[in-house]
Amino acid sequence: MSSDLYHRAVQHYSQNQHAEALAVLSPLLDRPHADAEVLDLAAGCAYAMNRPDRAQAYWERAVAEHPRHAGVDNHLGNLYAQLEKLPEAEALYRRSLDLKTDVPETHNNLGNVLMQQGRAADAEQSLRRALELRPDLVPAHYSLGKLLMTQARVDEAQMHFQHAIEARPDWADAHLNLGNAFVAQQRWDEGERAYRAAIELNPSLTIAYQSLAELLEKHERYGDLESVYRRLSECVPDLRAAHYNLGQVLYRITAFAGLERLDEAEAAYRRAIDLEPDHVQAYIALGNLLKEQPARLNEMLDVFRRAVELAPQSGEARLNLGGGLLRVGEYAQGWPLMEVRYDDAWPQRPIPPPDLPFPRWQGEPLAGKSLLVIHEQGFGDSFQFCRYLPMLKAQGLSKLSVVWALEDPLLASADGVDVCVSAAALHTLPPHDYWCFMMSAPALLGTTLETIPSVTPYLFADDRRVERWRDRLPARVPTVGIAAMSEPRPNPFDTRRGSNAPACMPLLGLPGVRFVNLQKAPVSRAQLDTLPPHLRPLDLMDDVQDFSDTAAIIASLDLVISVDTSVAHLAGALGKPLWVLLSTNPCWRWHTEGETSAWYPNARLFRQTAPNNWDDVIARVTAALAEWRDRN
């Protein structure tokens, strides 16, 4: 070997002049049997120039021509490991260790490829051997920590990550993994500090942002969560997930905090779509945001349609388009799309179909047949859609059975119902000819906006229960049932369906009316306790056992005032005069304008004029109730 040429090449390499180094080595590389050091340096230069194919060729030549060179074996093993040629890398590391058994870096490298192959015990042995040889080998501490985390040996893992950070405080990945260990130990504050340290050290480390975001979301720290996604969108501006997640956080802040920041959320969603025009989830999120603005219904439908065009098989996209069409009264187009909610082809379907030995009804003639109708989703949905039970029976059914969530006879009061049992008793029923979900009835019966079966009542309170509850209600004064408080819901914007106790005080203070609480849920009832005693409605709900009791109370009242909850649908089904308080983003069944309901002719609708503002609604309801009181 020409030592002058080699040393000149080494000098160029040390100054990051890799192309110049290769040029100097060229005469030495042209020799039939080049030295191992020359080939190794040439490979290193090629690798530094982002030419892994050329580097691989030099190292493979070195291995072939110098089969007992531990350093070359190790370097080619590293390249193979990066190329995920793991068995080949393992073989080279083992051969290198046969030649030099005490090289800690090679033991560490071998441990890493064994870990990637799922051979945890062998990997741990190799990594611990590396640390025996060199206790301050930082990469081995880091790798062993990651291995131990996969085995839920969190305390040991944490120790090794901390060793790595003590030696290399600027290693962002080590801080990230230390944060993971702290979170696994439920040491939330320390985990947060570790994640933030990782981000400060590497502002482009997206996984650190995501880990920090998951921690903040777990503790519902949405303001901090917004800051995290804003910084990520600034540091990695072309990352569509950063903008999409920022939009999601802003949307949620709007729901929970009452801060109207939909324009910011919309901008974030649209930026995500600009970066990834086929980002279906961003279209779905944008469509749901547009539902908050009734004047933009056409835009909402266009966005949902685009999501379906991009992903025709997406159950979520089709379900959202279906709900949007129902919202604007396009029932003929909307009902079929809503059927995807229980589709076997959608793994995340929200409604799992029952395991029954007889077929689902899809519109076949029912004369002389038996049909099992199954409750789904909320109680309010059952109260709204059980109006179809008499229509089904009228098609000539020999037997109509109903299954719903509770051991409660209320649905059996609908005309035509032969059997009504709880969901727990579903599989005790004898076989039927068909089954169907209750909320599929409108689609199967071809309901349009003009043909909604709107005759009420179609549910009936038990006379004996009515008599019993009527004796407990005030006499000689108009009685008004109220269900106006909000209750936590999975969808944050559903939480905005309800008002709160302070907002209702002007209404509850109206003289000459006795209010009766109709809400049994704990959060709603707890709000009543915050009111001055003279404003609290009569609360009998401790003695209410089921919806049949609630129906008997409603039947004994003069009027029901409710937000969009099961109480409103129950009062509507019973034919009771009903006033419904609606947010600016009401459920599809209330549509988006008007004071009347196509579903409940006995209902009067009071709509918000501004998002999250119940004061104006309560003021109008209070004035209307004063007029009603004076007439009664």
Helix ranges (H only) for 419-477 are 441-444, 463-470
**Is residue 92 within 8 Å of residue 63, measured between CB atoms?**
yes
- State residue 234's pLDDT score: 94
Residues of the chain with pLDDT under 70: 1-2, 70, 255-259, 488-496
Measured distance CA(286)–CA(284) in Å, rounded: 5
Strand order in the sheet with 419-422: 419-422, 399-404, 370-374, 434-437
**Pairing between β-strand 370-374 and β-strand 399-404 as defined by DSSP bridges:** parallel
Measured distance CA(558)–CA(575) in Å, rounded: 11
Domain ranges of the chain: 278-342, 370-451, 464-631
Measured distance CA(140)–CA(171) in Å, rounded: 14
Q: Residue 318 burial by CB count (10 A; 0-12/13-18/19+): exposed, middle or buried?
A: buried
- State residue 256's pLDDT score: 63
Exposure letters 340-351 (e unless 16+ CB within 10 A, then b): bbbeeebeebeb
Which fold, 278-342?
1.25.40
Phi and psi at residue 375, in whole multiples of 5°? -60, 145
Measured distance CA(627)–CA(604) in Å, rounded: 14
Q: What is the pTM of this model?
A: 0.83
- Token look-up 């049994």 returns 520
On the question of a common fold for 370-451 and 464-631, the answer reads yes
**Is residue 375 within 8 Å of residue 398, measured between CB atoms?**
no
Measured distance CA(482)–CA(498) in Å, rounded: 12
- Token look-up 């689609």 returns 443
Q: In DSSP terms, which residues pair with 421 in a beta bridge? A: 403
Token pair, residue 69, equals 């060179």
Token pair, residue 45, equals 């230069």
| pLDDT tens profile 64-108 | 887 777 677 878 888 888 888 999 889 888 988 988 889 999 999
Measured distance CA(45)–CA(53) in Å, rounded: 12
**Is residue 321 within 8 Å of residue 305, measured between CB atoms?**
yes
Measured distance CA(279)–CA(54) in Å, rounded: 38
- State residue 67's pLDDT score: 78
| pLDDT tens profile 406-456 | 889 999 999 999 999 999 999 899 999 999 999 999 999 999 999 999 999
The one-character DSSP state at 361 is: P
- State residue 39's pLDDT score: 78
- Token look-up 């799309």 returns 337
Measured distance CA(374)–CA(446) in Å, rounded: 19
- State residue 358's pLDDT score: 96
Exposure letters 485-522 (e unless 16+ CB within 10 A, then b): bbbeeeeebbebbbbebebbeebbebeebbbbbbbbee
**Pairing between β-strand 370-374 and β-strand 434-437 as defined by DSSP bridges:** parallel
| 3-class DSSP state of 311 | coil
Helix ranges (H only) for 151-221 are 154-167, 172-184, 188-201, 206-218
Which fold, 370-451?
Rossmann fold (3.40.50)
- Token look-up 């974030």 returns 268
Q: In DSSP terms, which residues pair with 577 in a beta bridge? A: none
Q: What is the CATH number of domain 464-631?
A: 3.40.50.2000
